[in-house]
Amino acid sequence: MPLPDPGLLGGGLVAALIGGALGVAQTSITGRWLAACARGLEEGTAGPSSPATPAEAVDRSSSIRLATLAVVVGLWWWEVRCFGQLPCDAAGLPLEVPFAATAGRWLAHAILFWLLAAATWIDFRYRVIPDWITIPGFLGGLFLAWLLPETLLPVAAEVARPFATPLLEPDVLGWAGPLAHGVASHGTEGGATPVMLIVALALFTVWWVVGTGPDFSGVADVLPEEEGGAAVAAPLPPESWWPRLALLAVGCLAVAGAWAIGGLRFEGLFTALVGAVVTGGIVWGTRAGASLALGREAMGLGDVTLMAMVGAWLGWQASVLACFLGVLFGLFHAVVQIVRHRESELPFGPGLCMGTATVVIGWRPLWQAAAATFAETGQLVGMIVAVVVGTALSLWVWASLGPVARRVALAAMVLLGVLLFCWLLVLQG
């Protein structure tokens, strides 16, 4: 009887320990915040005013911890043991990558999944994604992209050879293609020109303006209805601005320091900044168009900051794919709720989180199918504009229809989707 692989057992044990720790952190931090919110709503306050007791924090804690453990261990098995994300060579075998890079990427994705799970849990419950998830998540993504750029998603870089077919070498996806090979092609400084510093500072400032609120609680203060009729935003005291200004100053200094160091690490940081602004900008444009079509706010700003955080961890290409898949998951959820005659207002954040998780797990086949599209800038921009405008127009038409017409339109969309799926099967066959 063959002995079990010690590396398999040891790695699985470490993954289980990390998964257990993340599960405890999920129920302790997120569960306490939710319990405090529930108590605050019962007391008529705007948000959590004091920490919750352990009894209040328990919300299906055992099942959540077990689910976290299963996801983290399963992710380790898929990424580290099965090399499920790594690109393949001409023979169909995964390219060889150092174990440290694969394990570091797995740990980064486990932390990202923890953030996505917390955002989904809260968004389902209170239709809000608090800043205490997106701001530390964004900053953590920037720091990780600078410290360990090899934790970005893996791709294959073609290296030209004289009188031979190009050689495929493992790399990670940067803001303009394979990261390490792009840095090597323009010198040891990694292309860290003054223009890139200015752009990086501008990108960080754009995120700061949109992604940070007057405070980091994630819950706005409101005036009681009995004092002012309707609940309105309370005036912000001057001292509430100093954390934002301090974050801007420290962040700009950190970006400048990374630029001074240059090399692969600055390219990784620049990739994270581009990913945050591009992806957050797409969701912001979708939010603006949908709100204009409906005549009211269609989605919260938390969805924008959520995808900006995802862009910092994965880069803009993977995050754009996550946005597209998130829209599909959101539409499916909406169809199910309409058929079941449930609520008409649904959270968009869980669909985006589901799309992000799908991209991380299915990265290799998804990128093989989408890489050519991302190489065509005009085609990609056209697709993004079509999705944003099409979403706004669809919502405008949907809002103008009556109940019977909506059911007819829903049946037509389902039929169209089935026909499109069958057509794709015929093309592939």
**What mean pLDDT is predicted for residues 30-50?**
61
Tokens describing residue 359: 């991209």
Ordered alpha helix ranges (H), 148-193: 179-185
- Domain borders along the chain are 128-219+237-428
Given a cut of 90, whether residue 199 has pLDDT beyond it is: yes
What is the distance between the alpha carbons of residues 308 and 317, in angstroms, rounded to a whole number? 12
Q: Name the β-bridge partners of 164.
A: 161
Please check whether residue 97 is in contact with residue 168, taking contact to mean a CB–CB distance below 8 angstroms. no
Whole-angstrom Cα distance, residue 142 to residue 43?
Answer: 38
Say what angle helices 301-314 and 316-339 make with each other, to 10 degrees.
140
Q: pLDDT band at residue 57, thresholds of 50, 70 and 90?
A: very low
Specify the DSSP class assigned to residue 239: G
What 3-state class would DSSP assign to 231?
A: coil
Query: What is residue 184's predicted lDDT score, i.e. its pLDDT?
Result: 64
Q: Kindly indicate the confidence band of residue 279, based on its pLDDT and cuts at 50, 70 and 90.
A: very high
Rounded to whole angstroms, what are the CA distances from 428 to 52, 366, 388, 425?
55, 16, 28, 5
Asked if the model's pLDDT at residue 173 lies above 90, the reply is: yes
Looking at residue 174, its pLDDT comes to 94
Q: Which residues pair with 373 in a beta bridge?
A: none
φ, ψ at 30 (rounded to 5°) = -70, -40
Look at 185 and 382; give whichever has higher pLDDT.
Answer: 382
CB 164 within 8 A of CB 107: no
Q: Name the DSSP letter for residue 189.
A: T
pLDDT band at 238 (very low <50, low <70, confident <90, very high): low
- Residues 158 and 150 sit within 8 Å (Cβ to Cβ): no
419 or 83: which carries more pLDDT confidence? 83
- Give yes or no for a contact between 368 and 153, defined as CB atoms under 8 angstroms apart: no
* For range 219-245, the mean pLDDT: 52
* Helix-helix angle 31-43:99-126, to 10 degrees: 10
- Tokens read off for 15: 């993954």
Residue type, 425: L
Residue partners of 73: CB distance under 8 A and separation at least 6: 12, 15, 16, 19
Percent of the chain surpassing pLDDT 90: 45
Do 131 and 217 contact (CB within 8 A), yes or no? yes
**Range of lowest pLDDT (7-16, 71-80, 348-357):** 7-16
Mean pLDDT of 214-230: 41
User: For position 109, what pLDDT does the model report?
Assistant: 98
Instruction: Of 128-132, 198-202, 293-297, give the lowest mean pLDDT range.
Output: 293-297
Amino acid symbol at 381 = V
- What is the mean predicted confidence (pLDDT) over 214-240? 44
SS3 label, residue 60:
coil
Q: What is the pLDDT of residues 298-309, one digit of tens each?
A: 778 899 999 999
* pLDDT given for residue 51 in this prediction: 40
pLDDT at 6: 56
Q: Which of 18-27, 49-58, 188-197, 398-407 has the highest mean pLDDT?
A: 18-27
How many whole angstroms separate alpha carbon 331 and alpha carbon 350?
Answer: 12
pLDDT, one tens digit per residue, over 69-83 is 999 999 999 999 999
pLDDT of res. 210 = 92
Q: What pTM value is reported for the model?
A: 0.86
150 vs 102: CA distance, rounded Å: 8
pLDDT over 70 (residue 237)? no
- N- to C-terminal Cα distance for the chain? 44
Query: What is the dihedral sign for C-alpha 73, 326, 429, 165?
Result: negative
Task: Tell which residue, 158, 3, 162, has the closest CA to residue 95.
Answer: 158
Backbone φ and ψ for 315, nearest 5 degrees, come out as: 90, 165
Look-up of token digits 């959590």: 48
Helix (H, G, I), strand (E, B) or coil at 265: helix
